[in-house]
Structure 1
Amino acid sequence: MVWNAAVTVFAACTFNFGPHALTVPHLNFGNLAWGWCVITALGRFNPNRGGHLILWDLKLVIRFPPGSTILIPSAIIRHSNVPIDANEFRCSFVQYTAGGLFRFIRNRFKTDHAFELTATKQEKWERAQESKTRWQEGVAMYSTIDSLRS
């Protein structure tokens, strides 16, 4: 096995080498819905003129200079970035974990298809019951302001 980095909790990473790394508004559907995605801006560009991060669903435009890092749930918050000038350079480094890895573990190290082929009726019923609350359990893992105050 080859690790992405010596110390990371994320299973995957992407380098967007530029020279004008730009994204259109999108969601990363493959990522764990309530999981974090770490976005780091790199390069040489004027952050007052471009490179801003846009979080569409939150109606936020964030000044995002080179070296900035943000964590967002990229599967559920539409995001993109603002273009930079033609003579500037922008790239990015993104870390994330695919939701399929969590499903694989949840399926006792089987694909969804293999699980469905081998699961008993009881296991399928338990899976259906678990699925009713899985989203709420995932969202409950987020910190709240009150939990950070204690």
Structure 2
Amino acid sequence: MYNPNMHSTYWDIREAISAQYPDYKWNFDALPFGLTTINFGPQTVCDDHIDDTDNAFGLAPTRSFGPFDYKKGGHLVFPSLKLAVQFCQGTEAWIPTAMLPHANTQIGEDETRYSVTSYNSGGMSEWVYRGGLSKRGWLKYLKDKSRALEEAGLDVERPGILRERLFPQWT
């Protein structure tokens, strides 16, 4: 696996939600993602965008399918990088959808292109991190327990801890 720490973090999120809601039905047994978007086409084209409600630290697998000439259209585009990548049928790319603007190009008029993207929302991670509380419930808990200042201090450290876990420097 490219990033086993990210994979295990996603499974931790899935297991925490499954423990709280044992009847919740996941889209796929073998994937840790809670959400999947299937674009049935026939002309699936996405304008330049970011998925700002996805996990900011995560990668999302995006796949394309259908009979289209991938050399002429359906390219995966990263405008901020000034990069377009030929994206043929059955290809899968893992991209940071919440951080990196992305799009795809038109295909031929008589062609068909479908796409499937799996991801976790940032809200799922927040809910697990807060022990099953909404943001409002979490803030109330902190206030009731007089822990708001302590948590604010820890929040300064958390991005570094998360970055170290998910993106270790390999030697």
| Other-structure match for 2:63 | 40
Show structure 1 runs of 4+ deviating over 6 A: none
**TM-score (ref. length: structure 1):** 0.90
Say which structure is richer in helix. Answer: 2
Letter in structure 2 aligned against 1:142? F
| Other-structure match for 1:133 | 157
Say yes or no: does 1:84 pair with 2:107. Answer: yes
Letter in structure 1 aligned against 2:112? F
Fraction of identical pairs, as percent? 26
Letter in structure 1 aligned against 2:95? I
Letter in structure 2 aligned against 1:54? V
Letter in structure 2 aligned against 1:91? Y
What is the correspondence of 1:1-150 to structure 2 with a 5 Å cutoff? 1-120=24-143, 122-140=146-164, 141-144=166-169, 147=170
Say which structure is richer in strand. Answer: 1
1:34: how far off?
0.9
Letter in structure 2 aligned against 1:71? W
RMSD value, Cα: 1.5
**TM-score (ref. length: structure 2):** 0.79
User: Does 39-48 or 56-65 show the bigger shift?
Assistant: 56-65
- 1:75 and 1:93 map into 2 onto residues whose CA distance is 16
What is the aligned residue count?
146
Structure 2 unaligned residues grouped into runs of 5+: 1-23
- 1:36 and 1:25 map into 2 onto residues whose CA distance is 17
